[in-house]
Amino acid sequence: MAAKDISVQMPVHVAIIMDGNGRWARSRGWPRLVGHRRGAERVKQIVKACPDLGVRYLTIYAFSTENWKRSTEEVLGLMTLFSRYIEREAEGLNAEGVRMRFIGDRGPLDGRLRRLMDGIEERTAGNERLNLTVAINYGGRNELARTARALAAAAARGDIRPDEINEEMLSRWLDTGDLPDPDLVIRTSGETRISNYLLWQSAYAEYEFTPTHWPDFTPEELASILARYSMRDRRFGSVKA
C-alpha cells in the first residue's frame, strides 16, 4: 500500500476574541470583574499550551476601542488587571520563551500601564518560542485610520511616494507589521461577529465560533478546534489542480 501523506495542516497564527467573561460571572451571581480575573487565568493556560500545539503566533483581544463605553468601574478594573498580569507574569513568560507585544492605540492608556507594556516588549524581544500579541485599545478601523494618517504624513515629508503604497506596504505599516496574517480566528461565547478585530489581516482567515465562555475555554478545546482546522480546504480564491 502506498504511504499516505500524513503532513497535517496546522495554523501558524491563531487569533482569539476572548468573549463571555461578563456572562460567565453574572450567571453565577458574581460581579463581571470576577469573570475577567478568571479569563486572565485562562490566558496563562492557553499561552502555555500553544507551543506544544504547534501555534507560533497567538494574538488575543483584550480591550477594544469600543469597550470604553462600559462602566468606569469595569474599565478601570480591566486596566488594573492588564498591569497586574504584566507585573506578575513577566518573569514566567520570559522563562517560557514568550515574546510579548501589544497592538492598538496606546495614546489614551494610563502612563504606568504603557511603561509596563514597553518594558515587557523590550525584555522579551529576543524570545522565539511563542509570539504573544495582546490587543489593548485595539480596533481594526482605528488601526487603519492611524496607518493612513502615518502614510500620508510620510508622503507629505517626502519619505515615501504615494504611488509606492500597495497592499504589502500597508500591511507592514499596520500595528501587526511584524506578524503573519492570522490563519484562524476563534471567538468564544457564542457571538458570531468580528467586533472590529483584525479587519485587514483576517481577509483570508478561517473562523471558529464556540459557545464556550472564555473562562471555561480549555487547551483541550483549542486542540479539538485545531484538529477541525486541519481538515479545512483553504483555497485563497484558487481552484484545486
Q: Which residues bind ligand IPE (CB under 6 A)?
A: 17-23, 61-64, 67, 78, 189, 191, 193, 195
| CA angle (69 as vertex; 64, 72 as ends), nearest 5 | 105
Q: Which is nearer to Mg ion, 18 or 222 (CB)?
A: 18
Q: Which is nearer to ligand IPE, 84 or 193 (CB)?
A: 193
Q: Which is nearer to ligand IPE, 66 or 91 (CB)?
A: 66
The residue nearest ligand IPE at its CB is: 22
What's the sign of the alpha-carbon dihedral 52, 200, 136, 17? negative
| Catalytic pick among 21, 67, 118, 181 | 67
Q: Name 177's Cβ contacts closer than 8 Å, sequence gap at least 6.
A: 171
Exposed, middle or buried, 103 (CB in 10 Å: 0-12/13-18/19+)? buried
Q: Which is nearer to Mg ion, 71 or 166 (CB)?
A: 71
What's the sign of the alpha-carbon dihedral 209, 211, 215, 218? negative
CB of 18 vs ligand IPE, minimal distance in Å: 5
Q: Which is nearer to ligand IPE, 31 or 219 (CB)?
A: 31
Residue 57, CB-side half-sphere exposure with 13 Å CA sphere? 18
> DSSP assignment, residue 16?
E
Query: Taking CB within 5 to 8 Å according to partner kind, which of ligand IPE, Mg ion, none is near residue 65?
Result: none
Q: Are 218 and 45 in contact (CB under 8 A)?
A: yes
| Catalytic pick among 19, 21, 137, 175 | 19
CB of 81 vs ligand IPE, minimal distance in Å: 9
Q: What is the separation of C-alpha 233 from the centre of its chain, rounded to a whole number of angstroms?
A: 23
Query: Taking CB within 5 to 8 Å according to partner kind, which of ligand IPE, Mg ion, none is near residue 195?
Result: ligand IPE
The residue nearest Mg ion at its CB is: 19
C-alpha cell at 34: 470576577
β partners of residue 17: 61, 187
Residues making contact with Mg ion (CB under 5 A): 19
**CA–CA distance, 25 with 5 (Å, rounded to integer):** 46
**Strand 13-17 relative to strand 57-64: parallel, antiparallel, unpaired?**
parallel
Query: Taking CB within 5 to 8 Å according to partner kind, which of ligand IPE, Mg ion, none is near residue 67?
Result: ligand IPE
Query: Taking CB within 5 to 8 Å according to partner kind, which of Mg ion, ligand IPE, none is near residue 142?
Result: none
Query: Taking CB within 5 to 8 Å according to partner kind, which of ligand IPE, Mg ion, none is near residue 62?
Result: ligand IPE
User: Active-site residue 19, yes or no?
Assistant: yes
User: Active-site residue 183, yes or no?
Assistant: no
The catalytic residues are 19, 67
